[in-house]
Structure 1
Amino acid sequence: MIARVWRGWTEPADANEYEAFVTETVFPDAKAEIDDLQSFEVLRREAGDEVEFVTIARFASWDAIEAFAGADYETAHVPERAERLLARYEETVAHYEVRA
């Protein structure tokens, strides 16, 4: 299994809308379309004058990651609506082999 880990930050006023979009639309839609998207987590914390989000999506294969993010899968996959809500975000994604 491979974990795809990414971070983005919102203004406090946009945090609830961003969280709802990611947890109710982005990942559920992807899970419905990609059999090998095993699970996802959305972590949230207050970080000074911003709200930080960490997403962790677990995929069964590299092919599933490519189905989610495209051929350039190390580049962040940020839907247009999410991009409007984010103050800033990591442009690349880290992938880890899940060992335990």
Structure 2
Amino acid sequence: MDAGTAVIARSWRAVATVDGARRYEDHFRVTVLPALRALHGFHIAYLMRRDDDDTVRIHVLTLWESMAAITRFAGDTPRAAVVEPAARAALLSFDETVEHYEAQAMASRSVAETAARAPGTDAP
């Protein structure tokens, strides 16, 4: 990463039924993403899932320019999870706190670039 460039990752996990995971995804797309996009200092959000027998494990990872930006989102206790009532209703359990990590190195490739690569190769 460039000197002076900080990226903070915010990590949160939850567990839901299959139907609850679908409801949480709908909530995330309709409510959470627009709110995040409106915040100065927000970079990107990932909503990930892993099916695990009859439950779904949910992992939300967001990237931010600074802890100040996270505080604008989460309030005075940035380690506290922000879980709105609609999200709570969709989940079986969830972490009450989040973890923050400072990114040390990053690389990316656009989805279009990745799709254009020959299958089974690392060639561009």
TM over 0.5: yes
Q: What TM-score comes out, normalization by structure 2 length?
A: 0.76
CA distance in 1, matches of 2:34, 2:61: 14
Mean Cα deviation higher: 35-44 or 21-30: 21-30
Structure 2 SS opposite 1:18: helix
Residue 24 (structure 1) shift: 2.9
Question: Is structure 2 residue 66 aligned with structure 1 residue 61?
Answer: yes
Aligned-partner residue type, residue 26 of structure 1: V
Structure 1 SS opposite 2:92: strand
Residue 26 (structure 1) shift: 0.5
4+ residue runs over 4 A deviation: none
CA distance in 1, matches of 2:26, 2:67: 27
Percent identity between the two aligned chains: 33
Structure 2 SS opposite 1:35: coil
CA distance in 1, matches of 2:102, 2:33: 20
- Matching residue within 74, 86, 95 for 1:81: 86
| Greater per-residue strand proportion | 1
CA RMSD in angstroms, aligned pairs only? 1.0
CA distance in 1, matches of 2:19, 2:36: 26
Count matched residues.
Answer: 99
- Larger gyration radius, structure 1 or structure 2: 2
Mean Cα deviation higher: 11-20 or 37-46: 11-20
Task: Flag the structure with more relative contact order, 1 or 2, with Cα contacts below 8 A and sequence separation at least 6.
Answer: 1
Q: Deviations over 1:24-56 (max 9, x none)?
A: 320222221x12001110111101221111000
